[in-house]
Copies of this chain bind each other. A is one copy, B any other.
């Protein structure tokens, strides 16, 4: 007998094993992965050699800290030196069966490879995550992430849905808003997956394009990821009220897998679902020192693949800044849960204050209906640090008159200062000024001022 409802039971027993057991398994897998890298990856042979550390030197998970970090720049250099999969490729091409790509920063996308076993492990992780968020066998799932460009929101999400035994309706964000809404009307999916801003936008145009309100489409679960938003309370509440559905956030990335953190309907944060495939550390982003997992702890996530064959990474600095929201949870879960509040790439230091655009978005979204809810940070300076005030472009409420701009802007500035301890300079722009969200992630930061007369 158990006092857990069937709905709470995780997809895999791995998610409920005692934490100490999981750590023992992680150590075992880590040592095996290190030996594998020493044998197969030129990149890690070099890196481990320079640090004079090998599989035999790692006797506890604490010993991991002696291994140098892998940075995004190192991976970019590695990919550039040896296209397609980089010098960290550790499986023969003959064994690679799948290739995915990440958006990359500028120029070339970053590619990763998967062997047959890597694919199996990815599908397992993704299925656990999507299951935690509420997708069940037999469900029809409308695919609202981009299907193309090699993004993990495409084929790997499809594979996770298939692993659960649910049915993907593979329209994709790139299939267009009209077609997605028509498919929602025709297929009446129980679940939709997609980026939060795009799904919010879909709801606002549902009546025009599908002939009924989003709340009438019968959707019960919105599973969102790929950009901040699912973790921003005002956006989550907007999603839930527009769709009449529960919103759960998932997180992953191309380097380690597709989905490996996923929120359950308890909405306490995203649980780690891949303990035997990925070792996740929390570190102080400034010192690089490890931070113990416990509720309330804050730090940057660092990942090591534990069973990866084609494109392994070791102590990879993800740039994701998170807060631990729970240790274990319903259904016997033993793994930590987190909320991601920003990424290193997005972080600005405004007059000495660390600031994530997602935090600003949260403040502005919560001020609806005084404003439209959409904003952009205008970071018209080199790098991430400025001594200027924070420049914000904020969308007017629908139908709001420009002569109220000064008063509205002043209110936004006050709220931002109170919430984030930053002085903002707000410029109001017309409702609908910013492009509607689509197949691309929403960039909350602009590097150049847009043409405000357009």
Interface residues of A (CB under 8 A from B): 83-84, 93-94, 96-101, 108-109, 111, 138, 140, 146-150, 154-155, 158, 162, 165, 167-176, 179, 182-183, 186-188, 439
- State the Cβ distance, A166 to closest chain B Cβ, in Å: 9
Cβ-defined contact, A149 with B179, below 8 A: yes
Q: A109-B182, A167-B96 known; A172 and B187 CB under 8 Å?
A: no
Would you call the interface of chain A mostly helix, strand, loop, or mixed?
mixed
Partner of A186, one of B83, B167, B179: B83
Cβ-defined contact, A167 with B99, below 8 A: yes
For this complex, 19 residue pairs linking A to B, each with C-beta atoms less than 8 Å apart, are A83-B186, A94-B138, A98-B162, A98-B168, A99-B167, A99-B169, A100-B170, A101-B171, A108-B182, A109-B179, A148-B174, A149-B171, A149-B172, A149-B175, A150-B169, A150-B170, A150-B175, A174-B174, A174-B439
**Which B residue's beta carbon lies closest to that of A96?**
B167
A147 CA to B171 CA, complexed, in Å: 9
- State the Cβ distance, A179 to closest chain B Cβ, in Å: 6
Cβ-defined contact, B83 with A162, below 8 A: no
- State the Cβ distance, A158 to closest chain B Cβ, in Å: 7
A147 CA to B173 CA, complexed, in Å: 11
A149 CA to B176 CA, complexed, in Å: 8
A173 CA to B172 CA, complexed, in Å: 13
Question: What's the number of copies of this chain in the assembled complex?
Answer: 2
Cβ-defined contact, A97 with B187, below 8 A: no
Cβ-defined contact, B93 with A138, below 8 A: yes
Q: A111-B186, A183-B109 known; A148 and B165 CB under 8 Å?
A: no
- State the Cβ distance, A444 to closest chain B Cβ, in Å: 23
A173 CA to B149 CA, complexed, in Å: 9
Given A84-B186, A147-B174, 20 additional A-B pairs, CB 8 A: A84-B140, A84-B187, A93-B138, A94-B138, A97-B162, A98-B167, A98-B168, A99-B167, A99-B169, A99-B170, A100-B170, A101-B171, A148-B173, A150-B171, A150-B183, A154-B170, A155-B155, A155-B158, A155-B170, A174-B439
